[in-house]
Amino acid sequence: MSTAPRTWPILLLLGLASVPLVLMYIYLVIDTVTDAPPGSMVPDRVTVEHWRFLWQDIPGKANIWLVTLNTFVFATATSAIVLAVSSTAGYALSRLNLPFRRFFLAGALILHAFPTITLIVAIFLILQMVGLYNTLIGVILVKASLELPLGIWIMKGFYDTVPWEIEMAGIQDGADRFTVWRRLVLPQVKPGLLALGVFSFLAGWSEFILPQVLAPDNRVQVLSVYLAALIADDQSFDFNLFKSIGLFYVIPVIVLYLIFQDKLMNIYGGRSKG
Amino acid sequence: MRILLEGFTKRFGDVTVIEDMNLEIRDGEMLALLGPSGCGKSTTLFAICGIHGVDGGRILFGDEDVTRTPPQARNVSVVFQSYALYPHMTVFKNISFPLEIKHDDKAQIRAKVKEVAHLMHIEPLLDRLPAHLSGGQQQRVALARALVRRPSVLLLDEPLANLDARLRLEMRAEIRRLQLETGITAVLVTHDQVEAMSMSDRIAIMDSGVIHQIASPKDMYDNPVNAFVAGFLGNPPIAFLEGEVSDGRFTTPTRSVAITLPAAMTGLCAGRRIQIGVRPEFVTADPKGEVEAEVAFVETQGRENLYDLKLADGGVLRSIQPARDDIRVGDRLRWRIATEQVMVFDDQGLRL
């Protein structure tokens, strides 16, 4: 990396300020595979004991693979619903001459800004009434609908950048409106779909409060709830185990970011490249 | 295919853009819709292809009323100003798209695309993406896509506006060649009178949603119906002088300039307010000429020079003549006007 000569003091300062953060990350990793004598920071032996949750159940807790599968299903389904609805609703709001179009647009923004937590009691009651309390489907539907306003808004922004002429040309070439959308317009907003898909997957993966309140049962537990329950348990307190599961929980997130980091920046640029 | 617009009316919200327009486009001809931007020429084009609905009147293709026919069923192709190529598809896919929509069989599609690519000289480009083509190549692809399904009507919306000057010249001839070769009925929308005159069989000149005149380019140039048409055609443009009739001659209000009227116009009653239009090619430097003017500006065009001439009362004439370097800015000379070629308009701009 080449830097101008004047920037090194700033880099040094930033570097120093980051040291505690970096140290914490390093210890997060080190602690999962070592043990240290009480009162010491320096580990004295290497062990895989803290990763035992991978092959044996923690007493009183759900199976880790079941919980991981639940989390994966939860995040994927949320992402899929958000993608399916945003890609169509965003198009409608961007292109179609709908009644109450401005109302829907403003509504989507307000809903996005609305604090989720204030709705939780009402949602809890509704889910119980329709029998979706303590089910994955229930919490997926809730999470997806709370993610939707932002998704619709972002997709509308992407559709707005697609030239009208492309659609007119498609119509003129004999395609119906749906074919034009699917074959000509959708490919132009692919960067938006990709970014939105990854973002809503991550939002689902890291969601805690909704599953905690709406689906706390062991059968449908997700990783965030599993972790919270682990640390709340005073009986068998194991900090290194908690760190190991935490690392296990965060690995997919890091991998996704590594793969998609360039693409994710698109969502802020909001442009499709022609 | 003959196209007929009958009483065509189009509104956007409360604004009536075009009211009760009648226009016939003959089978196999290239008609130019010419006018300044915002005059409604593109609106007319989009009504013909069906992208815009119609608020009144009828549109006929041949004898068939297509006013309510959706654009997909009209068999009209459009070439857009921006070309509107599909950026994620190769040139081949772009051209074959209209055929794939019709579910033609693969071999037939390949053959048709090859044929039209050959016609447009773009065979080497078929595997490229539109982003990797130059403006002229994109234009050719857009034309190929428009022609591949053999439309009964071809609409061109400012097709040359995004090209550089040289390419524009080349594509002008190219589009005309294609239109003549295929014998397709075509409508060209443009604000450039040179394009309209050089490419079309007839020109319909429009302003503010009204067609002023429909005629062949030469007819329109020689016999404009009003001052707007006269002013729009011709480069360098015609020069107008305002004044009145006096003694069978035209005089400016200060009487400092007097120009003999054409023989057919000598009957105008004295004192009538008129304006005259003089095309630059009918003004030449001549010591025995009837008007004196100062050269205000000289524009060298290579083969010809264009002179802006300032008359004693401030009026401006223009003269274009073979390049010569003995006339300079600031010279006061006498100029002869070919008076039989002077066009006379009334004070409303109508040709007399």
* Nearest-angstrom CA–CA distance, B292 and B279: 17
Residue A266 has pLDDT above 70, yes or no: no
Q: What is the pLDDT of residues B191-202, one digit of tens each?
A: 999 999 999 999
Question: In A, which residues are within 8 Å of B82 by CB distance?
Answer: 163, 165
Q: Which of A166, A174, A187 sits opposite B102 (nearest CB)?
A: A174
* Nearest-angstrom CA–CA distance, A173 and B84: 12
For residue B288, give the 3-state DSSP assignment: coil
**pLDDT at residue number B165:** 86
Q: Which two tokens stand for residue A256?
A: 């996704």
Question: pLDDT by residue for chain B (352 residues), tens digit each?
Answer: 899 999 999 999 889 999 999 999 999 999 999 999 888 899 999 999 999 889 999 999 999 999 999 999 999 999 999 999 999 999 999 999 999 999 889 999 999 999 999 988 899 999 999 999 998 899 999 999 999 989 999 999 999 888 888 888 888 998 999 899 889 999 999 999 999 999 999 999 999 889 999 999 999 999 999 999 999 998 889 999 998 888 788 888 887 788 888 888 877 888 888 999 999 999 998 888 888 899 999 998 888 999 999 988 888 999 998 888 888 888 888 899 988 889 999 888 888 8
Q: Does A163 touch chain B (CB under 8 A)?
A: yes
Is residue A52 within 8 Å of A245, Cβ to Cβ? no
- Say what percent of chain A tops pLDDT 90: 56
Question: In B, which residues are within 8 Å of A174 by CB distance?
Answer: 72, 98, 101-102, 149
CA A216 distance to own-chain centroid: 19
Domains detected in chain A: 5-47 (no CATH), 61-269 (1.10.3720.10)
**pLDDT at residue number B167:** 86
**pLDDT at residue number A4:** 60
CA distance to partner chain A, nearest, from residue B148 (Å) = 10
- Arithmetic mean of pLDDT, A127-141: 94
Residue in A97, A167, A171, A173 to test binding to B, most B beta-carbons within 10 Å = A173
Question: In B, which residues are within 8 Å of A169 by CB distance?
Answer: 78, 80, 84, 86, 145
Q: Which of A169, A175, A274 sits opposite B80 (nearest CB)?
A: A169
* Nearest-angstrom CA–CA distance, B59 and B52: 12
Distant-in-sequence, close-in-space partners of A7: CB < 8 Å, separation ≥ 6: none
Residue A267 has pLDDT above 70, yes or no: no
Cβ contact, residue pair A168, B87, below 8 Å = no
**pLDDT at residue number A222:** 93
Q: Does A168 touch chain B (CB under 8 A)?
A: yes
**pLDDT at residue number A3:** 52
Question: In B, which residues are within 8 Å of A168 by CB distance?
Answer: 51, 78, 80, 84
Q: Which two tokens stand for residue A5?
A: 């000569």
Q: How many CB atoms are located within 10 Å of the residue B26 CB?
A: 14
Cβ-Cβ contacts under 8 Å between A and B: the total is 53
pTM for the model stands at 0.82
Q: What is the pLDDT of residues A36-93, one digit of tens each?
A: 888 887 888 888 888 888 888 887 788 899 999 999 999 999 999 999 999 999 999 9
Amino acid, single-letter form, for residue B237: P
**pLDDT at residue number B6:** 92
Domains detected in chain B: 3-223 (3.40.50.300), 239-346 (2.40.50.140)
Q: How far is CA A4 from CA A11, A12, A18, A80, in A?
A: 11, 13, 21, 45
ipTM: 0.82
- As to burial, measured by CB atoms within 10 angstroms (0-12 exposed, 13-18 middle, 19+ buried), residue B255 is exposed
Is residue A172 within 8 Å of B77, Cβ to Cβ? yes
**pLDDT at residue number B249:** 85
What's the N-to-C CA distance of chain A in angstroms? 31
For residue A232, give the 3-state DSSP assignment: helix
